[in-house]
Amino acid sequence: MRTKLFFFVIMFVTIAGYAQQDAQFTQYMYNTININPAYAGSRGALSVFGLYRTQWVGLDGAPETSSFSINTPINNSNLGVGLSLVNDKIGPTNENNISADISYTVQTSADFKLSFGIKGTANIFNLDVNKLNPAEQGDPQFQDLDNKFSPNVGAGVYWHSDKAYIGLSVPNFIETNRYDDNDVAIYKDKINYYLMGGYVFNLDKLEYYKFKPAVLAKMVEGAPLQVDVSANFMFIEKFVVGVAYRWSASLSAMVGFQITDGLYLGYGYDRETTNLNNYNSGSHEIFLRYEFFKNNGKMTTPRFF
């Protein structure tokens, strides 16, 4: 026998698995490497990125995500490489994804480049049985649920210039059962499809003021199509403010500051637009990005993504 708490937790994990699947980010436009390996090296600099997100604050067992990545172009070649780590906690589960990315870029016109990428991922999944409080201690159903390892592979394409981008990617092609009960998959990682795009408009001749709309569409079997739409404004290449809307899910506000030529700080706040809003005080997301440039320590053309 299992307690009602056990059924509640498994139900929660199942809902989170099908509704969210991969960890989600409000400021995805700065964290593209996690969902599209073709992004590796596209900024023309050694880019180090760290992010922390706490979702649905006040709701017991709500998602909590940490992300770290580094990517860079390889000198005198069309190759880019990247390495990333994502830790995602939901209720009694703790999941780590360690990924390596490689990209190859070709020049398609004077302004645009087309990049192809491959991602290899090692997933380590852990279920803390102590949080399930089973009625029968030592139940064999709870054996072998700790540190479950599974490999995966993904791919993506990324067409971009200094002012625009379009990307299509599948970070994980292999569907993986995270928890089996009598050979029935209760929590299963399914294939996630991502389509993203954005464009930067100059609002004045001196290019002090810029406007960038962007969109990210996520599709996974068993869940509704999720669409994130955002609009960001950049002022004098230093300050960024924006809003975002996750279709039928949440409304977000974003701010950012270019502290130095290499260091950028960003913050985002989400508020649910569903009934879930009654049970939490919103979601917070903060990140730091530091980049090392070759051209006298500065990026020749400031990038908005």
Q: CA 284 to CA 290: how far, in whole Å?
A: 21
Nearest-angstrom CA–CA distance, 244 and 53: 16
- Predicted confidence at residue 181, as pLDDT, reads 54
Flag whether 11 is in a domain.
no
Residue 69 CB contacts under 8 Å (≥ 6 apart), including other chains: 31, 33, 34, 47, 48, 49, 82, 83, 84, 85
Could you report the per-residue pLDDT of 198-212, keeping only the tens digit for each? 999 999 888 889 999
* Type of residue at 248: S
Determine the Cα–Cα distance for residues 169 and 117; give it in Å rounded to an integer. 9
- 12: in domain: no
User: 83-108 pLDDT, tens per residue?
Assistant: 999 999 988 889 999 999 999 999 99
pLDDT on residue 124 = 93
- Tell me whether residue 69 is in a domain: yes
Number of domains in the chain: 1
User: What is the model's pTM?
Assistant: 0.85
Task: Report residue 159 as tokens.
Answer: 């067409």
User: Per residue in 239-280, pLDDT tens?
Assistant: 999 999 999 889 999 999 999 989 999 999 999 999 888 889
Domain that residue 195 falls in: 1-6+35-304
| pLDDT, position 302 | 52
CA 213 to CA 230: how far, in whole Å? 6
Strands (E), 182-297: 184-189, 192-199, 201-202, 209-220, 226-235, 239-246, 250-258, 263-272, 283-292
Tell whether 21 is covered by a domain.
no
Cβ proximity of 159 and 165 under 8 Å: yes
Q: Is residue 28 included in any domain, yes or no?
A: no
CATH number, position 257: 2.40.160.40
